[in-house]
C-alpha cells in the first residue's frame, strides 16, 4: 500500500525543549490514522509537520514521495498542489474563522484557488447542506456556539474536497451532542479513500475515528496498532498518561479516563 506521509527520524524542538526527539512512522494512503497521546506528547507538533506549517530540525517528512520542506513549499506549483490536496482543521476553530459570515468562510478557500464565482456558490451551498449548517450561512462565525464553529471550520476545509485531512483534537471542548455529530461525521469517512490523520486523546471515540493509531509519549512512538488492540493495552495507556490506576486498600486497580 502506498503511503501518503512518511516520517523518518524527525526531530523538532521549541528552543531548548525537545518536542520530537526522533519519530518514524508512515500514514498509508486512504487510511484513518490517530496520533494518540496526552497533552504535551508531541502529537500536535507532529500534525503541524505533516501540514507543512512547521519543519523538522533534522529528519525527513515526505508527502506522496516528495520531501516536505520550506524550500519545496516556496515553489508555487507545489505549494498550490499541496494546499489543494491537504486540508487542516485546528483544535481551536477561532484560529481559522475570520470572515464576516459562514457563507463567506466557506467561499474563501475556493476563491483563493481561483474557482469561477458560480462554481464557488454551488459548491458552498452543497457543503452547507451536507454539513447541515444551511441555517447558519448568514451568521457571523464568532457568534456561533463551539459545536457550530467546529462544524463550520471542518466545512471550510471540506469545501475544497481535499484528498487528505489533518485534524487536531476535533472533539475537544464540545458538548456531548456536538461531540456525537463530529464523531459521526468522521466515522462516515471510513473506506472513502480519503486519508485522515487525527491528533486526539479521546479514547471513547477512538474506534469510530481511526483504523490504526500511533501512541505518543514524550515525543516518541510508545506503541501502535489497531484501536481495539491499543485500548486493551491498559499498561501502555497508563504509561502514556491517558488513563490512571485508581487503587483501593483491597489492592484492586480500576482504570479511569
pLDDT tens-digit profile of 163-200? Answer: 999 999 988 878 888 888 888 888 888 888 899 999 99
Q: Which three cell numbers stand for residue 79?
A: 505549494
- The domain of 49 spans 3-256
Does residue 166 contact residue 88 with C-beta atoms inside 8 Å? Answer: yes
The CA-atom distances, in angstroms, between 56 and each of 20, 44, 146 are: 9, 14, 32
Q: What are phi and psi of 193, to 5 degrees?
A: 90, -10
The CA-atom distances, in angstroms, between 236 and each of 198, 223, 251 are: 20, 7, 20
Integer Cα distance of 149 and 92 in angstroms: 9
Stretch 119-139: mean pLDDT, rounded? 94
Specify the residue for cell string 501518503: 4
Specify the residue for cell string 503511503: 3
Q: Of 32, 57, 29, whose CA–CA distance to 186 is shortest?
A: 32
Q: Which three cell numbers stand for residue 102?
A: 459562514
- Give the strand pairing for 58-63 and 66-67: antiparallel
Q: Exposure string (b/e) for 40-64, b if CB count within 10 Å is 16 or more?
A: ebbbbbbbbbbbbebbbeebebbbb
Integer Cα distance of 7 and 10 in angstroms: 6
* Model confidence, pTM: 0.89
Percentage of the chain beyond pLDDT 90 is 68
Q: Of 51, 81, 100, whose CA–CA distance to 198 is shortest?
A: 51
Does residue 235 contact residue 215 with C-beta atoms inside 8 Å? Answer: no
The CA-atom distances, in angstroms, between 204 and each of 1, 68, 83, 153, 227 are: 29, 33, 31, 23, 11
pLDDT band for position 248 (cuts 50, 70, 90): very low
CATH number of the domain bearing residue 213: 3.40.50.300
Q: What is the pLDDT of residue 167?
A: 95
Q: Of 125, 168, 177, whose CA–CA distance to 148 is shortest?
A: 177
Residues 204-246 pLDDT 10s? 889 999 999 999 999 999 999 999 999 999 999 998 889 876 5
144 pLDDT above the threshold of 90: yes
Stretch 51-64: mean pLDDT, rounded? 96
Q: What is the pLDDT of residue 1?
A: 63
Into how many domains does the chain fold?
1
Amino acid at each position: 500500500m502506498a503511503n501518503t506521509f512518511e516520517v523518518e527520524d524527525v526531530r523538532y524542538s521549541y528552543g531548548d525543549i525537545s518536542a520530537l526527539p526522533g519519530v518514524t512512522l508512515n500514514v498509508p494512503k486512504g487510511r484513518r490514522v490517530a496520533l494518540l497521546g496526552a497533552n504535551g506528547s508531541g502529537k500536535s507538533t507532529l500534525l503541524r509537520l505533516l501540514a507543512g506549517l512547521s519543519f523538522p530540525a533534522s529528519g525527513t517528512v515526505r508527502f506522496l514521495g516528495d520531501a516536505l520542506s520550506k524550500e519545496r513549499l516556496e515553489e508555487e506549483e507545489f505549494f498550490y498542489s499541496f494546499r489543494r490536496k491537504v486540508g487542516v482543521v485546528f483544535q481551536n476553530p477561532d484560529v481559522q474563522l475570520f470572515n464576516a459570515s459562514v457563507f463567506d468562510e466557506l467561499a474563501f478557500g475556493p476563491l483563493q484557488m481561483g474557482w469561477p464565482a458560480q462554481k464557488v456558490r454551488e459548491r458552498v451551498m452543497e457543503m452547507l447542506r451536507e454539513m447541515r449548517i444551511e441555517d447558519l450561512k448568514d451568521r457571523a462565525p464568532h457568534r456561533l456556539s463551539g459545536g457550530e464553529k467546529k462544524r463550520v471550520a471542518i466545512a471550510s476545509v471540506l469545501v475544497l474536497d481535499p484528498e487528505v485531512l489533518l485534524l487536531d483534537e476535533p472533539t475537544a471542548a464540545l458538548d456531548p451532542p456536538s461531540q456525537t455529530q463530529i464523531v459521526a461525521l468522521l466515522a462516515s469517512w471510513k473506506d472513502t479513500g480519503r486519508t485522515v490523520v487525527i491528533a486526539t486523546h479521546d479514547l471513547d471515540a477512538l474506534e469510530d475515528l481511526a483504523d490504526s493509531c500511533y501512541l505518543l509519549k514524550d515525543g516518541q512512538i510508545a506503541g501502535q496498532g489497531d484501536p481495539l488492540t491499543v485500548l486493551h493495552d491498559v499498561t501502555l495507556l497508563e504509561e502514556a498518561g491517558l488513563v490512571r490506576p485508581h487503587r483501593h486498600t483491597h489492592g484492586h486497580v480500576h482504570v479511569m479516563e
